[in-house]
Amino acid sequence: MIELTVPLGKRSYPIYIGSGLLNAKDLLSPYIAGNQVLVVSNVTVAPLYLESCLTAIQSSKKQLQIETLILPDGEEFKNLTTLNLIFDKLLSVRFDRSCTLVALGGGVIGDITGFAAASYQRGVNFIQIPTTLLAQVDSSVGGKTGVNHQLGKNMIGAFHQPRCVIADIDTLNTLEDRQLSAGIAEVIKYGLIRDNSFVDWLETHMPKLLGRDTEILAQAVERSCKYKSEIVAADELESGQRALLNFGHTFGHAIENGMGYGQWLHGEAVAAGMVMAADLSVRQGWLTKHDLERIRHLLESSKLPIRPPTELSPEKFLSLMSVDKKVKLGIINLVLLNAVGDAHVRNDYDQKMLTETLMNN
């Protein structure tokens, strides 16, 4: 088992990475506050892993009131209506502010359960047990929680750190191939914004990642979580460098919203968005064409899309991008590249070149 720490002073917490962690009876217990626990999962994950999770929770020496809530599966359900189902459950079973929420599932379950925990009685404890690669390397770490709105993705939410993150690599064996590739997009992102040598490593090990080699997957999750932990520790509330984690996301969120939540997986939209951000970087003269082709090839080898949907016009793209958390004073801030492994948040790009990128990808 690998253990990392997100260093946030009194709110620091561990990330556990390894195989068979859902069956580790003593791992969860120290992080369960109070004696009331609600496990939130979805209709896809619950039949696979809920029983193991409940067994691990029940192994605690405490006398616990354990409740479960199974939500529908999909990005299209990451909304205020579904969030209210969690509040309905918590109130109906009379959970107090010492309770613990456990998010068992992918990014949607983690985000919506975390937001419920941030909001219920003005904040209760929660634990992340991510079961997708995307959630293990990205959304479960850092305390970003929230839901989507029909006008914008993740526009309603809060920062609320979990007590711990337990990433069981074995849960990735039941992922669909498409979901695995979507998670790899976020892994690639870390290399592109922070570490060229990690991109080298990914180029070499991509066949084993796609083949679900346990050791290679664990290494990818560890390195991704390490990079994110460092960034979150330096800028928890995204006032500066944490915004680099949004590389490709402004374009990607526009794709997800424009096509209808759930039509494109988050990682697929981010993959196309990273190519668009790199393309704009080339047009500005900040990134070489060789680096752009390298990025395209790596994403293609990961079985990810490298072009946005043709259904979205440049005008529609710009309209959707303007409803984004990175917009400040009417200007869209974008994460762009100077080189592979060297990213910066910029708003000094040429608007005409952005339009060219939108027209030619």
Question: Which position among 160, 249, 283, 296 bears the catalytic label?
Answer: 249
Neighbouring-strand partners of residue 68: 39
- CA–CA separation, 308 and 27 (whole Å): 42
Which contacts (CB < 8 Å, 24+ apart) does range 338-342 have?
338/281, 338/286, 338/287, 339/196, 339/287, 339/288, 339/291, 340/191, 340/192, 340/196, 340/199, 340/291, 340/294, 340/295, 341/191, 341/192, 341/193, 341/194, 341/195, 341/196, 341/197, 341/198, 341/199, 342/196
Question: Which position among 253, 283, 296, 325 bears the catalytic label?
Answer: 253
**345, amino acid identity:** V
Question: Which position among 189, 242, 283, 325 bears the catalytic label?
Answer: 242
Is 144 catalytic? The answer is yes
Tokens read off for 243: 């915004």
Over its length of 361 residues, how does the chain's per-residue pLDDT go in tens digits?
A: 999 999 999 999 999 999 999 988 789 989 998 999 999 999 999 999 999 999 999 887 678 999 999 999 999 999 999 999 999 999 999 999 999 999 999 999 999 999 999 999 999 999 999 999 999 999 999 999 999 998 888 999 999 999 999 999 999 999 999 999 999 999 999 999 999 999 999 999 999 999 999 999 999 999 999 999 999 999 999 888 999 999 999 999 999 999 999 999 999 999 999 999 999 999 999 999 999 999 999 999 999 999 999 999 999 999 999 887 667 757 899 999 999 999 999 999 999 999 999 999 8
Question: Which position among 153, 189, 194, 228 bears the catalytic label?
Answer: 228
What pLDDT, on a 0 to 100 scale, did the predictor assign at position 329? Answer: 59
Question: Which position among 42, 154, 246, 333 bears the catalytic label?
Answer: 246
The pTM of the full predicted model, rounded to 2 decimals, is: 0.95
What pLDDT, on a 0 to 100 scale, did the predictor assign at position 326? Answer: 67
Is 186 catalytic? The answer is yes
Is 89 catalytic? The answer is no
Is 266 catalytic? The answer is yes
Is 178 catalytic? The answer is no
Question: Which position among 75, 186, 222, 256 bears the catalytic label?
Answer: 186
The C-alpha R_g of the chain, in whole angstroms, comes to: 20
Q: Which domains does the chain have, with CATH numbers?
A: 2-174 (3.40.50.1970), 201-360 (1.20.1090.10)
Question: Which position among 266, 296, 325, 326 bears the catalytic label?
Answer: 266
- CA–CA separation, 271 and 279 (whole Å): 12
The distance of Cα 61 from the centroid of its chain, to the nearest Å, equals 33
Is 122 catalytic? The answer is yes
Task: Specify burial of residue 150 (Cβ count, 10 A radius: 0-12, 13-18, 19+).
Answer: exposed
Question: Which position among 222, 238, 256, 268 bears the catalytic label?
Answer: 238
Question: Which position among 10, 94, 122, 328 bears the catalytic label?
Answer: 122
